A and B are shown apart, each in its own frame.
Chain A
């Protein structure tokens, strides 16, 4: 409620008090000359002030409840963001480990191929069609 945020709370407390006092004064202090002559007007004005003040007292209470809820949610969101960052950190570590494992395995396989290259190449000659099929499978599988 912007008006509640804009104006300090004591204004509405003061209005409530003024409305109550005005209403009580217009009823109780009817022996006082000014009040007795304007009792109806004071009662009406006090009732209006009291009604507005009560509305805003309710609004302040509601606003405070919402502010508390907002703070609670902000805390939860901050905690969730921290958890999210921690989860990302763990995932990054897992990825780095897996990347190293794959790179290491690749090195091992390359070395094994080098060791056995002479035997492989002596026993088997690859026809051009085989290369073509493998390359097409590598390219067209993704591109279609």
Chain B
């Protein structure tokens, strides 16, 4: 039985917006297994960032945990309220890499110093030892000429390089869990591939657990062992990567997969998800995705569906899995996903193995 490093149960998070309570995360439960990479997929506004911010106590000032628990080594992180309580956890045991490398680094200090600072703070290293270790870390993230680069400032670097520095800082702490909040969304596709490869490589070496947030299924396919799909502040489907890609059960997952550009053929319009993500302004009744769902049932507008078990690893929160529901097939475009992807890969000159 694999070890669970993080157990989230019935977590609910709200925000106070102009004297009104807005419920963003609504009754979410999931376990994170030690050593795995869990991808959390969803559109902007699905609540994925808010969800992971609760693991490091970094909710905005007007955010608060309404209920539920986050068990980490026997301690309930949801109950921690004071900044002092987070000292040994945030940055040290659970570290985060954010999306925008331009603002993640302090422009006034050299990149080397920002790494050393963490080492001195969390590991009590001396200035000299910290510098040596920082240079080693810069080398680890493939920054060339690390000794000379120690004194460089962030403004001298491109987005991809800065993100490497950010990874080095996170690495310095030897965290148990690394949360990557859309770390490659702001980067070019080539740099994106390199950064993801770097994170995977380091994970193999340092054996931490990665929680990877993204809206790009291509990235998910690359990194994830397990996938959790989020919509409207809830996890609507989760399972292993193969479960979710090859046997998706929730209409939202179907919609996400259908809208991949790789599936498009030149002479037909591409599929996309109509409408916009929920704005949480009004109370959500029933299934949040119903209004954009081609397969919405009448009950979706009335009552929130429970989480149905598909297999030991695969769960989905949709009325379509209810015994009363009509049998609905996945959209044609994502049936035989494997075959279609093989074709797409061939077109991209990719070597396609036999699976």
Do the two shown chains form a genuine complex with each other?
no
